[in-house]
A and B are shown apart, each in its own frame.
Chain A
Amino acid sequence: MSHDKITFNLDGEALEVVAGTTLLDACRSKGAQVPTLCHEDRLEPFGGCRMCLVELDGAPRPVPACKTNVASGMVVRSGSDSLERVRGTIAEMFMAEHRPATGGRPNAMDKVAKRFNLGAPPIQFPERAQYHDRNRFIGFDTDACILCNRCVRYCDEVMQVTALEHSGQGPNAIVQPTDGLSFLDTSCELCGGCISSCPTGALYEKQSQGVEESSCDTTRTVCTFCGVGCVIDLNTKDGKVVKVTAEQGVGPNDGHLCTKGRFAWQFIHHDDRLSEPLVRGEDGELHAATWEEAYARVAEGLTKVKQEHGADSIGFLASSRCTNEDVYVLQKLARSVIGTNNVHSCAAT
């Protein structure tokens, strides 16, 4: 890839950028306020929403900054009155079909409406058919969808699963799980990445529906489901976890999560969660015990197996949710105390 520098003119000033830079990135690097809706840094440029139009000398009409690469000598204006008027009108068009979502996620349309000082749109299109299915994780409020295709492209380009599609045309155009099926019947892996890419909150976490994300406290931590180490934010309300999100550009996961990381947090406050050791008694039932009693029972059992069948009849398997230190101690136990090399961590796979 070339790292040649090229020069172009942006809003009356010469600007030097690396060849291959998009106009949008160039504008942003200079602090120009170019609005976007369908653009997401993790995805290929799309150019569908038309909010990022900029004026380019020699072009018959404005060009989408996200989809246009800087060329040497270009003369570009990013914020003329005419551009702002066109962008504001396109935002107004969106408001004619968009209805605020109920899922509780942030809505980029609020910011857009504020920037362009939008009132009631001059026309209001009818509501869409609502989408229902039996999946427990991904909710879809169709009336909030603005067909920016971010979820569809996320599913195609990042997950390469293609469980979502932009279907139909004209007034009947919709985004939906492929072929209008339930998410459960598509190739969907329920990773919820579509939710993270949705700018309007049309897609939301069903388990957290109605919880205003903006009113939550967040605690940054690392997901413990496997060894990748995804950075997650626990969204809490009144001291209880209500949602898991991940920020783009942070950690090894860049905002991506799997279905466990994003949706499997209910165990934290679940009634069935063990909060003390249980030991099976003579009666065959589990009874609450102290840690000392529990350790003694484990030691007794392992010693018996070792005596009867030898040390190598015992194996130790560490959960991927254990820390490095946990796993170190486990192999120490296996090798020094029991005397076997049968140790493995499922994080290795």
Chain B
Amino acid sequence: MDIQRLEGLRGCGGAGFPVHIKWQAVANEATPEGGKVIVCNADEGEPGTLKDGWLLNEQPRRVLLGMQRAAAMVGAVRAYVYLRPEYTEQLRFLQVAINDLIEDGFLSPGSGAMWNGAGFPGRSVQRPGHPLPPQEMPNIAPAAATGLPLRLDIVLGGGAYICGEETALLESMEGRRPQPRHKPPYPTQSGLWGLPTLMNNVETFWWAERILSGEIETPGSHRLYSLSGDVERPGVYEAPVGITARDLIDHFGGGVVNREQISCWIPGGAASGVLPASCLDTPLSPEGLKEVGTSLGTAGVVVYAKPTQPVEVAAEIMKFFADESCSQCTPCRLGNRAFSDWISGVHEWPEPEVTERWLEAMELGSICGLGFTAPLVVRQMQRWFSEAVV
């Protein structure tokens, strides 16, 4: 019933899945030998997103407490923070926070070990240094205060964008090339080493802790917005879901640098595509952004002042996707590469019929979200800046 208190909170990692449904799904799974697993996805890699790094610097204890609460509620005994490897400062704060929580009796003694996740280029077989599977680390002593066993360790990420995709992250933790798995089964049923796994974003655990500790009464009413680009005061801001980008930029960000005009902006991380200045009064909410063809994503708002051209921004995003494709499935590997070349002018655009077919093949044929949401960037360009793309 405690899980129901989270109703209204949506995952803050990009997909926006209802948190209480995911937690309930893991809670409902039978506990297999080896136990259930909690993973905090701290592989913050979405361009324009910086809230998780900020949170781990400022409030790592609350993030970890969110994980601890989740473990108690779904019955997990192992927990991992999969940390973006560039976050070296955050790593130190995390280690301090973990030690404090062991002392305070929330985590089992021995917690805080550091492991490696696999990345690219890598061999398709295991290399040492990855988290030990349950059979090699079977006994977890109960934590002093809670009486529940919970071993919480840190895994340094593989250093690729795709490592933040939940199943690629699991592959990386298990020591293989971080290539997304086919779903179903979902991680809630069969995740790390085939165990039921609850994976949430850093910010999601942070909100969950604030909600479950009684600090917040309306789950999902606010988000942490990462504001960057050509604004006077870039940073991470807690603001209501539904605030307009204009308000966010003016009231929190101090306006555009040098009072320049806005050329275009990104609402929720690179994968949410580029919007024109005419959409600045759109509410930053799932519903509001759906109206203009996109989503709130990671709530990473990036502002581009003139004379930056929207097509330059889109080209950069598509090149990023092309470079970061794990190269497992064809539509993502070659589709992103083609659109990167077309949009940046390396190759001439083909007939619109071809463009449409290639977008469709990516949307329908890719394995994971990288492949099937990347076409959104092109479609948004077609919708808002049609003169620039074909």
Contacts and interface: CB of A to CB of B under 8 A. Distances in A.
B354 A122 contact: yes
B262 to A, nearest CB: 31
A190 interface: no
A173 B354 contact: no
Interface string B336-354: 1110011000010011001
Contacts of B326: 169
B124 A166 contact: yes
Interface stretch (B84-92, B236-244, B246-254, B357-365): B357-365
A169 B364 contact: no
Given A48-B329, A61-B372, A147-B327, A170 B322 contact: yes
Contacts of B358: 89, 92-93, 122
B341 A123 contact: yes
B334 A96 contact: yes
Contact of B323 (A122, A171, A179): A171
A348 B351 CA distance: 66
Nearest to B322: A170
Contacts of B123: 162, 165, 178-179
Contact of B124 (A125, A147, A152): A152
Contact of B361 (A49, A89, A97): A89
Contacts of A53: 364-365
B337 A170 contact: yes
A94 interface: yes
Nearest to B178: A169
B214 interface: no
Contacts of A123: 338, 341-342, 347, 350
B162 A61 contact: no
B115 interface: no
Nearest to A49: B330
A165 B122 CA distance: 8
Given A85-B360, A166-B177, A169-B160, A90 B330 contact: yes
B182 A93 contact: no
A168 interface: yes
B120 interface: yes
Interface string B360-380: 110111110000100000000
> Taking chain B's interface residues, is the majority helix, strand, or loop, or is none over half, making it mixed?
helix
12 contacts: A47-B182, A50-B329, A50-B330, A85-B357, A89-B360, A90-B331, A165-B121, A168-B120, A169-B326, A170-B337, A171-B322, A173-B327
Interface in B176-229: 177, 182
Contacts of B131: none
A89 B355 CA distance: 10
A166 B329 CA distance: 12
A123 B358 CA distance: 11
Interface string A197-227: 0000000000000000000000000000000
A164 to B, nearest CB: 9
Contacts, number: 114
A93 B360 contact: no
A245 to B, nearest CB: 27
A123 B344 CA distance: 14
Contacts of B160: 169
B124 A169 contact: no
B1 interface: no
B298 interface: no
A64 B182 contact: yes
A57 to B, nearest CB: 15
B146 interface: no
Interface of A: 47-50, 53, 61-62, 64, 67-68, 82, 85-86, 89-90, 92-94, 96-97, 122-123, 125, 146-147, 152, 156, 162, 165-171, 173, 178-179
A170 B322 CA distance: 5
B324 interface: yes
Contacts of A67: 182
A49 to B, nearest CB: 6
Nearest to A173: B327
Nearest to A46: B328
B196 to A, nearest CB: 20
Contact of B327 (A64, A165, A170): A170
Given A123-B350, A166-B124, A169-B324, A86 B361 contact: yes
A125 B337 contact: yes
A147 B336 CA distance: 16
B180 to A, nearest CB: 10
Residue of B324, B326, B334 ringed by the most chain A CB atoms within 10 A: B334
B325 interface: yes
B333 interface: yes
A294 B325 CA distance: 69
A165 B124 contact: yes
Contacts of A89: 357-358, 360-361, 365
B360 A86 contact: yes
B328 A48 contact: yes
Nearest to A167: B121
A166 B364 CA distance: 24
A49 B327 CA distance: 10
B333 to A, nearest CB: 7
A178 B330 CA distance: 22
Nearest to B361: A89
Contacts of B60: none
A319 B323 CA distance: 55
B389 to A, nearest CB: 15
A93 B335 contact: yes
Residue of A85, A86, A178 ringed by the most chain B CB atoms within 10 A: A86
A62 B323 contact: no
A70 B325 CA distance: 29
Given A86-B360, A89-B358, A93-B338, A169 B325 contact: yes
Contacts of B322: 170-171
A68 B185 CA distance: 11
Residue of B124, B162, B358 ringed by the most chain A CB atoms within 10 A: B124
Given A86-B365, A166-B124, A170-B336, 13 more contacts: A47-B367, A49-B329, A86-B364, A89-B360, A90-B365, A96-B338, A156-B124, A162-B123, A162-B125, A166-B177, A169-B120, A169-B327, A179-B123
A56 to B, nearest CB: 11
Interface string B105-129: 0000000000000001111110000
A50 B177 CA distance: 19
